[in-house]
Amino acid sequence: MAKQRVVVVGNGMVGHRFIEYLLESPAAGQFEIITFSEESRLAYDRVHLSAYFTGSTAADLALTTREYYRDKGVNFVLNDKVISIDEPNKCVVTQSGRREPYDKLILATGSYPFVPPVPGKEKEHCLVYRTIDDLGRIKVSGSQSKVGVVIGGGLLGLEAANALKGMGLETHVIEFASRLMAVQLDDGGSKLLRRKIEALGVKVHTGKNTREIVEGTTCRYRLNFTDGSFLETDLVLFSAGIRPQDELALTCNLGVGTRGGFTINNNCKTSEQDIYAIGECAAWNNQCFGLVAPGYQMARVVVSQLTGGSEQFLGADMSTKLKLLGIDVASVGDSTARTQGARTYCYNDDFAEQYKCLVVSEDGKLLLGAVLVGDTEDFGNFQQMMLNKMALPANPQGMILPGIEGGKVGLGVDALPDTAQICSCHSVSKGSICSLVQSGTTSVAGIKAATKAGTGCGGCAVLLKQVVDAELTKLGVEVSNSICEHFAYTRRELADLIRVNRIRTFPEMLNAHGKGHGCDICKPAIGSILASFWNDYVLKPEHVGLQDTNDAFLGNLQKDGTYSVVPRIAGGEITPDKLIMLGQVAKAFNLYTKITGGQRVDLFGARIDQLPAIWKLLVEAGFETGHAYGKAVRTVKSCVGSTWCRYGVDDSVGFAIAIEERYKGLRSPHKLKFAVSGCTRECAEAQSKDVGVIATEHGWNLYVCGNGGMRPRHADLLASGLDRATLIKYVDRFLMFYCRTADRLQRTSVWLENMEGGLDYLKSVVVDDKLGLGAELEAGMAAVIATYQCEWLTTLENPEQLKRFRQFVNCPGKDQDLAYVVERGQRRPATAEERKIALVNLEE
Amino acid sequence: MNAISSNWVTVCSEDDLVCGSGVCALIETGGKPQQVALFRETAAGPVYALDNHDPIGNANVLSRGIIGSQGDKLVVASPLYKQHFDLQTGECLEDKTVKVPAWKTRIHEGQVQLKI
Ligand code: SRM
Ligand SMILES: Cc1cc2nc3c(=O)[nH]c(=O)nc-3n(C[C@H](O)[C@H](O)[C@H](O)COP(=O)(O)OP(=O)(O)OC[C@H]3O[C@@H](n4cnc5c(N)ncnc54)[C@H](O)[C@@H]3O)c2cc1C
Ligand code: SF4
Ligand code: FES
């Protein structure tokens, strides 16, 4: 039998996917494929088009190659537009005059950017954002421009704005409607998005209609708006929506939808025999779909139709989750509450910059849609809930409110039916993922490779992992969270084993519960747990090998192998004499000196063999170690407080010092930082600390689990209006509870976020003592406090220990490879280049 | 290194080693000073010797790393950026193109010796 000729017009994302599906089908051999594109390249990833501005090349974006098509026998013609369909003779005609007969014709012509009929729109630097060539033009124009305007504040417009901003242009967004992303977001979400975008320096103008584009005076062009106002710009980017590319309909009487697009039925067939339409150019029920996933579904349907199957296209979910200018935005289902009788729950947090809104049915039983701005973690859950018509919990508000009674109501993936589509880009259902897991594909990476799930827009990644983990758990496979290859336990489990069995050393632990020799992960972790509970001197011979170099030498290792010296300066308070002493020591050893972000002084560049002499002077002057090297209590920052400050409510310095003295030396899963402010002006930044204390007229407020660093987190209020004794009691309990239950290197912020029941649970343990652990936790802390020692003092008193601070065990001497140069009056390590020029060793 | 006159060189006393950890010693090879990192897991166990220079972090620090195992290999983790080096061969487990010199060792009359 002769092969059927399948002609695909348009080699965009969907046209190409159709070809792939057809090639993958068992009936592939029955077809001869030829595809036309008016673009100069084969299909590429339009969804990630903007990556072209951040370093991706056309080759990176390519979805296929010429070699691949040739290999598979796919014929392709580039740079040639199909201009008409000769339906009676079953062939297409191209611009270059080529006639190509077909048995089946697939239209996959996509969309084109709509440019409103504004006079001046044809000017040289008025551009659109759809193809790689468009982006090339934008790059050229951008490099000759200072100001850029995007006309259209929809999803693509904001993406385009990001690109302009990335090129360093002063960027404006003009939107005709009264709000940004009017299609996907409600008022509240849109407002927050606007605020965030403006905070990034992009100027947003809503409710503006552009009348004309004329020559400018300060810039290349000037936009005159219908309200009489104007804006000068060098570049104009139109992003006022897309229109289905359906011009071919006119050439052969194909039916089109009321808002354009080739009309298709559930089989994706147009009004004409043997002609199908897929992707953005198709109108199903008068609706065009401007996302790639529905297009892929249509492609699948047509392949099914051509190969004797019966798959149908029955509409598609238009929920979207994306990052616009770095801001997380998601909309689910009927996000703007257009459904008759729809009601909403909204939560807006201007401080955390988060907005969440649920749209529910009139009877409050079903989730119809949602808007998420700032935090889109729940996108997958909400989408599934909406799509699968799952019953809402009794208090739907719990799904968006942070930390209300019982913690956030989540949707367990267990509740999802097997038919639930987890990845809509690649039509992968929960059932198919679960059966893969059951047949041995137990990693997310494996599932991705086998099904492509998660490799499209990426929006399903969180959900995918949840499904895999849940299935593994169901199968009784422990989702491995072993700390390393030597111990099949989490840090929390290790801590329990050590505490309950009163284990005192690493070898004891390894013999009883581990295997192998240990490593740089489990040794310091167990060293830290031993220290949290028994508080032995960390450099005892049986512990010394467990310590990271910082702990082993009681200093922070620097890039050149020297160490830094940070004495404790409790609360940041220091007498002039001690300050002078610090200066003298620094001078004597020529140490680079810097004030730290933790209100103390850091002395850098101490050689290992100098550390004891430096610390001897410091200890004699009354300093103690600052534990800057340990996963331990670091600093308690303070503001000057009521003693001097005219607003101070209470003595923040005094209390900060008392707290630092109490907890100094406490070893913990990760470092701990505290602060005390004397009033709500909060000059000590207590709400960014693990433990933050703020004085109020009614007593001290206690905040916990704040974090600066890589992922800042605002602290939560644990209790308010406390007296000093109660506050200390709560902090004792809080810290010990953390030391016992947190994971290795887990700051209190992440610990709380992973705690079942969240803040309420933490309160119930620490404040209400619901578990009855209070007294025990306090006793644990009392034991640590009672065994405090300044590790440097202990070390200096122990000649055996001091031997470890020799550079060489077999001779005196120092590391000869150290080299320094002077900068701003102090020395710093020489760079590799400087070393090449001359070895400038300033020591002596 | 001089392959012809390869022989055992005394480096330090056995007592200078720290069990479960490393120390650094200085020797001379071919007229040049050479920092050697010496490790020993347990009191009677074997001694391992690597060049003290971490070629990735570019500093003389390997003796200050934590020792342990990865699979059946004994390793030291650089204290700077935590790459692991095989205590027997000096090979870097994360980057096969990187290798630090390693020496054979023995204990002779209470002294640690390297085969040079
Ligand atoms: C010296 C100092 C910077 C300075 O010159 O000001 C500093 C220096 C280092 N910081 Fe820091 N941090 C310093 C204040 C801070 C602060 C500010 C504060 O404490 O108020 C923060 C943000 C607050 C916070 O932690 O929440 C901070 C967040 C970090 C982080 C990120 C932690 C996180 O949770 O994301 C790291 C990395 C880590 O710990 O894993 C880090 C790690 C480091 C290390 C240990 C990196 C390293 O491994 O070499 C640096 C070595 C210190 C040294 O050699 O002495 N440092 N670091 C500050 C010492 C304060 C002190 O007196 O002890
Ligand atoms: C910047 C940007 C970001 C986007 N982000 C997302 C996102 O995050 N998520 C999402 O789901 N979607 C996103 N989209 C939309 C997505 O890219 C489209 O839905 C998808 O590309 C549609 O595929 P298609 O094959 O139908 O059309 P296209 O990919 O546009 O392909 C159509 C092709 O046909 C060619 N053609 C048209 N007419 C003819 C003719 N007569 N003869 C020959 N060739 C012709 C066109 O030149 C084009 O190459 C984004 C789009 C853009 C521009
Ligand atoms: S927090 Fe209050 S007391 Fe402290 S310095 Fe600021 S204003 Fe003064
Ligand atoms: S939904 Fe887009 S990758 Fe899965």
Domain segments of chain A as ranges: 4-112+244-306, 126-240, 425-479, 491-547, 631-779
Higher-confidence position of B6 and A442: A442
What are residue A701's DSSP bridge partners? A694
pLDDT at A1: 66
Nearest to A425 by CA among A247, A299, A609, A283: A299
Q: State both tokens at A135.
A: 């982006």
pLDDT at A683: 96
| Cβ pair B26:A811 closer than 8 A | yes
Q: Does residue B3 register a pLDDT over 60? A: no
Regions of chain A where pLDDT drops below 50: 404-409, 841-844
Per CB-CB distance under 8 Å, the chain B contacts of A808 are: 24-26, 35
Contact A440, A449 (CB under 8 A): no
pLDDT exceeds cutoff 70 at B38: yes
Kindly give the number of the ligand 2 atom that is closest to the alpha carbon of A12: 31
DSSP state for residue A625 in the 8-state scheme: B
Please determine whether the domains at A4-112+244-306 and A425-479 fall in the same fold group of CATH: no
DSSP string, A347-382: EEETTTTEEEEEEE-TTS-BEEEEEEES--TTHHHH
3.30.360.10, 3.40.50.300, 3.40.50.720, 3.30.413.10: CATH of A631-779: 3.30.413.10
| C-alpha distances out from residue A787 to A511, A531, A539, A569, A663, Å | 27, 11, 15, 20, 11
Spatial contact of A423 and A297, defined as CB atoms under 8 Å apart: no
Task: Please name the residue whose Cα sits nearest to atom 41 of ligand 2.
Answer: A82
Q: Which ligand places an atom closest to the C-alpha of A647?
A: 3
Topology of the domain comprising A126-240: FAD/NAD(P)-binding domain (3.50.50)
ipTM above threshold 0.95:
no
Residue A410 structure tokens: 């989540």
CATH no., domain A4-112+244-306: 3.50.50.60
User: What is the reported pLDDT for B29?
Assistant: 86
- Among A486, A544, A549, most B C-beta atoms within 10 A, so best to mutate, is A549
How high is the pLDDT of residue B84? 94
Cβ <8 Å between A545 and B21 = yes
Q: What is the pLDDT of residue A844?
A: 41
CATH number given to B4-115:
2.102.10.10
Largest CA distance in chain A: 102
The CA-based angle A355-A357-A359, given to 5 degrees, is: 170
Pairing of strands A31-36, A75-77: parallel
A576 contacts: CB under 8 Å, gap ≥ 6: none
A544 close to B (CB below 8 A) = yes
pLDDT the model gives residue A412: 66
Determine if the pTM surpasses 0.90.
no
Question: Which chain A residues are Cβ-neighbours of B47 within 8 angstroms?
Answer: none
- Segment A622-670, tens digit of pLDDT: 999 999 999 999 999 999 999 999 999 999 999 999 999 999 989 999 9
Test A809 with B25 for CB contact under 8 angstroms.
Answer: yes
Going from N- to C-terminal start, the domains of chain B cover 4-115
The three-state DSSP-derived secondary structure of A609-622 is CCHHHHHHHHHHCC
Quick check: A831 contacting B, CB < 8 Å? Answer: no
Distances (CA, A) of A508 to A523, A526, A542, A666: 12, 11, 11, 23
CATH node for A425-479: 1.10.10.1100
Q: For residue B67, what pLDDT is reported?
A: 96
The answer to whether B21 contacts A548, with C-beta atoms less than 8 Å apart, is no
- The pLDDT score that the predictor gives to residue A404 is 46
Mean per-residue pLDDT, B6-30: 91
Q: What is the pLDDT of residue B5?
A: 47
Alpha carbon of A255 to ligand 4 centroid (Å): 32
| Interface contact A500, partner B, CB < 8 A | no
Kindly indicate the confidence band of residue B1, based on its pLDDT and cuts at 50, 70 and 90: very low
Ligand 2 within 6 A of CB of A625:
no
Give the Cα separation of A575 and A31 in Å (integer): 87
Q: Three-state SS for B1?
A: coil
